A and B are shown apart, each in its own frame.
Chain A
Amino acid sequence: MTQALGDTLLIAGRNLRRVPRIPELAIFAILQSIMFVLLFAFVFGGAIPLPDGGSYREFLMPGIFAQNIAFASVITAIGMTDDLNKGILDRFRSLPMARSAVIAGRTVSDLVYNAGILVVLMASGFVVDWRVHTGIGEFLAGVGLLLLFAFAMAWIGVWLGLNVPTVEVGQQVSFLVVFPITFLSNAFVPPQTLPPLLRTFAEWNPVSALTAATRQLWGNPNPFAAPGFPAEHPIELTIIWTAVLILIFAPLAIRKYQSISR
């Protein structure tokens, strides 16, 4: 057990060490997020009135955070496919190390990476007048939820990354998963504006739950179309989603890793 933990940290350390060596990956991820902030805050924002009033930018930022956390699974998938194709996984698999450590290390390093991205995003949110109106406890709880969800998304990323032949395919496939769940959500528009079927999807969608949970925790505008579980218990729904995703994708990822047969 201590061996598995030690190996996990070694692998996580190795993954993080790579980040500044390929700075383009992190820089463009951050630039892309800032572009979204600017695009929605200044271009679309003016055309999207909130039903109960309130600042669109304060409404927007939790959505941006959730979107980025969801997109982070793409980074995980890319890292995993790259390791697989470069043969470095073979090296790890030929060592007498804990077998779980390679993927566990990947999820841990991506958690740290996401925390870093989150700091930059929060700073840019601050610049466009996003504020937390509650206490430090609620602020940290919100950050905790974001990272918890990031951890779940990382497992999806690992599983995807091990199932695709090339980094490029992995990127395309993960966008296919991530785009609908981030845009068919309450992240950028109030769900009231959606047609009924999409509205139901948007309200139960994990990204929506995460967005609503952080809005609620931080006292940011949090409009909902109809009363119901997602509207009343976004925090619980986020935790349920996270647990469900990890329970599905962690075993799938581990099984895939153990049966790599190339």
Chain B
Amino acid sequence: MNAIVAEGLVKIYGKGKAQVRAVDGVDLAVAQGTVLGLLGPNGAGKTTTVRMLATLLRPDSGRASVGGHDVVRDAQAVRSIIGLSGQYAAVDENLTGRENLVLFARLYRLGAADARRRADTLLEQFGLTDAADRVVKTYSGGMRRRLDLASALIGTPRILFMDEPTTGLDPRSRLGMWDVIRGLVKEGTTLLLTTQYLEEADELADRIAVVDHGRIIARGTADELKKQVGGERIEVVVDQRDAIDHAVAILRRDADGEPTVDRHTRRITSPVNGGAQRLIQVVRDFDEAGIKIDDIALRRPTLDDVFLALTGHAAVEKPAGEEAA
């Protein structure tokens, strides 16, 4: 059964010539207990899509249902089974962490005692117990984000929307957030997550939908998408032009595909599976063969690569505004 369904969702901002179709006919289906990653650059329409599904925004056309409830006609029923965690941590920075959670729990119809218990559980679960009675203003970005997610989970939602859960976080906090998200998914929560990072979608999502200019331009599993783009590759720039042929021979052996050569810049690129371990092998073999290299790098496909491959244009940021909030 599909927990989230969207058919032909459209949201238009502005009037007349300034009109922007922020979301332009998005279809989605997320099976119960699975994770869909909505991948796209700033301004692609990810946030707007999530806001429509989470009942914050009325679609201009199309329909959507969450947990079997229509997001427009049955909005209140949708609200009682979803959790929403935004990219701008929507918690009250002048309240303490505990006060925030208790307030949201009470608004979720929990009694005073139950609300306090629920808040304590979540504070514990998200490692915020020590900071529980501090005003949120004093929290770090990672703590704030965790509190925001805890707030989204206050009603033990079956379906969770996370809008760029790790944007702006340092790498360590990001890994921590990933762990938390994986834990939730293991418990059977259906998750729709938006991200600008292919790596993140890859780590967390069962299926990925790539969004550009309000439309879904590709969908599939991470592997399927990467295959379209080409996976990781090794890029080598050799010091001498006459070393190129020898280098190509080594790469043919060590890497996993036919190398492409740019003789002018002395750059050889070769697809590779197995990442850093292979890179070390290549460096070793080059060294043994006495080939001097100017530069060597392992390149993973980025969102830019996916975009380039899918659309023929780079993932350009639209002016901020429609994606804000």
Give chain A's interface residues, CB within 8 Å of chain B: 3, 7, 10, 14, 17-18, 21-22, 85-88, 90-97, 260-262
Query: Could you say which residues of chain A place their CB within 8 Å of the CB of B84?
Result: 90-91, 94
Of B49-57, B125-133, B176-184, B283-291, the one with at least 4 CB within 8 A of chain A: B49-57
Known contacts A17-B95, A87-B89, A87-B325; is-contact A94 B103 (Cβ 8 Å): no
A-side interface mostly:
helix
Map CB proximity to A onto B151-171 as digits: 1 under 8 Å, 0 otherwise: 100010000000000000000
Contact B86 A90 (CB under 8 A): yes
- Cα A87 to Cα B90 in complex, Å, equals 5
Stretch at the interface among B36-44, B106-114, B218-226, B296-304: B106-114
With known contacts A95-B104, A262-B324, A262-B325, A14–B92 Cβ distance under 8 A: yes
Contact B94 A94 (CB under 8 A): no
Say how far A16's CB is from chain B's closest CB, in angstroms.
11
Q: List 24 A-B contacts (CB under 8 A).
A: A14-B103, A17-B94, A18-B92, A18-B95, A21-B94, A21-B95, A86-B90, A86-B92, A86-B93, A87-B88, A87-B325, A88-B90, A90-B56, A90-B86, A90-B90, A91-B91, A93-B55, A94-B83, A94-B84, A95-B104, A96-B79, A96-B80, A96-B155, A97-B107
A26 → chain B closest CB, angstroms: 13
B243 at interface (Cβ–Cβ under 8 A)?
no
Cβ contact within 8 Å between A94 and B91: no
- Chain A residue nearest to B55 (CB atoms) is A94
Indicate which residue in B51, B56, B92, B109 contacts A96 across the interface (CB closer than 8 Å). Answer: B109
Question: A91 and B104 in contact (CB under 8 A), knowing A96-B76, A96-B80?
Answer: yes
- Name the one of A14, A94, A260, A262 contacting B54, with C-beta atoms under 8 angstroms: A94
By a CB distance below 8 angstroms, the chain A residues around B57 are: 261
A9's closest neighbor in chain B, by CB? B106
User: How many residues of chain B have a CB within 8 Å of chain A?
Assistant: 33
- Which residues of the partner chain A approach B82 to less than 8 Å between Cβ atoms? 94
B185 within 8 A of A: no
Interface of B is mostly: loop
> At the interface, yes or no: B254 with Cβ under 8 Å from chain A?
no
Instruction: Using CB atoms, name the residue of chain A closest to B92.
Output: A88
| Docked CA distance A215–B80 (Å) | 51
The answer to whether the Cβ of B27 comes within 8 Å of any Cβ in the partner chain is no
Q: Which residues of A sit under 8 angstroms from B58, Cβ to Cβ?
A: 261
Docked pose: A14 CA to B94 CA in angstroms: 10
Q: Is the CB of B79 within 8 A of A94?
A: yes
Distance (whole angstroms) from the CB of A98 to the closest CB of chain B: 9
6 additional contacts (CB under 8 A) given A90-B84, A95-B155: A18-B94, A18-B95, A22-B94, A86-B90, A94-B54, A262-B325
B residues near A14, Cβ cutoff 8 Å: 92, 95, 99, 103
Inter-chain contact A21/B103, CB cutoff 8 Å: no
Q: Mark B46-89, 1 if CB is under 8 A from A, else 0.
A: 00000100111110000000000000000010011011101011
B-chain residues with CB within 8 Å of residue A10 when the two chains form the complex: 103, 106-107
